[in-house]
Amino acid sequence: MCSATFSQTTIIRDNTIEKMVKEVSPDSLKYYITSLVAMGTRNTLSTQKDSKRGIGAARRWILNKFTQFAASSNGRLTGFIDTTTLFPDKKRIDTTIVLGNVVATLKGTDPADDRIFIISGHLDNMRTNVMDRTGDAPGANDDGSGSAAVLECARVMSKHPFPATIIFVTVSGEEQGLLGAYYMADKARKENLNIEAVLNNDIMGSNNSSGTNIIANNKVRVFSEGIPFYELDKNAKMIRQLGLENDGKSRQLARYVKETGERYVDNIDVVMVYRNDRFLRGGDHTPYVENGYAAVRITEMNENYYHQHQDVRKENGIQYGDLIDFVDFEYLRKNTAVNLSVLASLASAPSKPQDLKIDVTRLSNSSDLYWKAPKSGKVKGYYILVRETTSPVWQKKIFTSQTSATLPYSKDNYFFAVQSVNDNNNEGLPELPGIGKN
Ligand SMILES: [Zn+2]
Q: Which residues are within 8 A (CB) of 258 and not within 5 positions of it... i.e. 6 or more apart?
A: 222, 270, 272, 393
CA distance 372 to 85: 45
In what helix (H) or strand (E) does residue 362 lie, and over which residues does it extend?
Answer: none
Q: How far is the CA of 19 from the centre of ligand 1 (A)?
A: 30
Q: How far is the CA of 232 from the centre of ligand 1 (A)?
A: 27
> How does pLDDT run across 318-361, given as a tens digit for each residue?
999 999 999 999 999 999 999 999 999 999 999 999 999 999 99
Q: How far is the CA of 406 from the centre of ligand 1 (A)?
A: 47
- Strand pairing report for 396-400 and 381-388: antiparallel
Minimum mean pLDDT among 4-18, 217-231, 420-434: which range?
Answer: 4-18
> How does pLDDT run across 54-104, given as a tens digit for each residue?
999 999 999 999 999 999 999 999 999 999 999 999 999 999 999 999 999
The pLDDT of residue 7? 47
> How does pLDDT run across 303-328, given as a tens digit for each residue?
999 999 999 999 999 999 999 999 99
The pLDDT of residue 10? 59
Q: How far is the CA of 187 from the centre of ligand 1 (A)?
A: 22
Q: How far is the CA of 50 from the centre of ligand 1 (A)?
A: 24
- Please compute, for residue 188, the number of CA atoms within 13 A of its CA located in the half-sphere on the CB side: 26
Q: Judge whether residue 301 has pLDDT over 60.
A: yes
Q: What are phi and psi of 220, to 5 degrees?
A: -135, 145
Q: How far is the CA of 80 from the centre of ligand 1 (A)?
A: 22
Tell me how many degrees the CA angle 302-141-67 measures, rounded to the nearest 5: 140
Q: What are phi and psi of 337, to 5 degrees?
A: -65, -35
Q: How far is the CA of 308 from the centre of ligand 1 (A)?
A: 9
- Amino acid, single-letter form, for residue 276: N
Angle between helices 144-157 and 26-37 (to 10 degrees): 130
- Amino acid, single-letter form, for residue 237: K
CA distance 380 to 389: 28
Q: Judge whether residue 5 has pLDDT over 80.
A: no
The pLDDT of residue 4? 46
CA distance 108 to 164: 4
Which residues share a beta bridge with 397?
Answer: 385
CA distance 195 to 166: 10
CA distance 186 to 184: 6
Q: How far is the CA of 274 from the centre of ligand 1 (A)?
A: 20
pTM of the predicted structure, to 2 decimals: 0.97
Q: For the beta carbon of residue 226, count every other beta carbon within 10 angstroms.
A: 15
Q: How far is the CA of 42 from the centre of ligand 1 (A)?
A: 12
Q: Is there a contact between 382 and 400 (Cβ–Cβ < 8 Å)?
A: yes
324: nearest Cα among 141, 158, 179: 141
Q: Judge whether residue 145 has pLDDT over 80.
A: yes
Q: Which residues are within 8 A (CB) of 88 and not within 5 positions of it... i.e. 6 or more apart?
A: 94, 95, 96
- Please compute, for residue 96, the number of CA atoms within 13 A of its CA located in the half-sphere on the CB side: 1
The whole-angstrom distance between residue 146's C-alpha and the CA centroid of its chain comes to: 11
The pLDDT of residue 3? 43
Q: How far is the CA of 284 from the centre of ligand 1 (A)?
A: 9
> How does pLDDT run across 163-174, given as a tens digit for each residue?
999 999 999 999
> How does pLDDT run across 402-432, given as a tens digit for each residue?
999 999 999 999 999 999 999 999 999 999 9
- What is the four-CA torsion angle of 199, 205, 210, 214, rounded to 10 degrees? 100
CA distance 291 to 271: 25
Q: For the beta carbon of residue 131, count every other beta carbon within 10 angstroms.
A: 12
Angle between helices 55-70 and 144-157 (to 10 degrees): 20
113: nearest Cα among 351, 434, 365: 351
Q: How far is the CA of 145 from the centre of ligand 1 (A)?
A: 9
Q: Judge whether residue 9 has pLDDT over 80.
A: no
Burial class for 6, CB neighbours closer than 10 Å (0-12, 13-18, 19+): middle
Q: How far is the CA of 140 from the centre of ligand 1 (A)?
A: 10
> How does pLDDT run across 365-403, given as a tens digit for each residue?
999 999 999 999 999 999 999 999 999 999 999 999 999
Residues with CB under 5 A from ligand 1 (ion): 142-143, 202
CA distance 109 to 86: 35
196: nearest Cα among 123, 119, 272: 119
Q: How far is the CA of 204 from the centre of ligand 1 (A)?
A: 10
143 upstream amide cis, omega within 30 of 0: yes
Q: How far is the CA of 317 from the centre of ligand 1 (A)?
A: 26
Q: Is there a contact between 199 and 261 (Cβ–Cβ < 8 Å)?
A: no
What length is written for the chain? 438
Q: What is the mean pLDDT of residues 219-242?
A: 97
Share of the chain above pLDDT 70, in %: 97
CA distance 293 to 185: 9
Q: How far is the CA of 241 from the centre of ligand 1 (A)?
A: 37
Q: How far is the CA of 45 from the centre of ligand 1 (A)?
A: 16
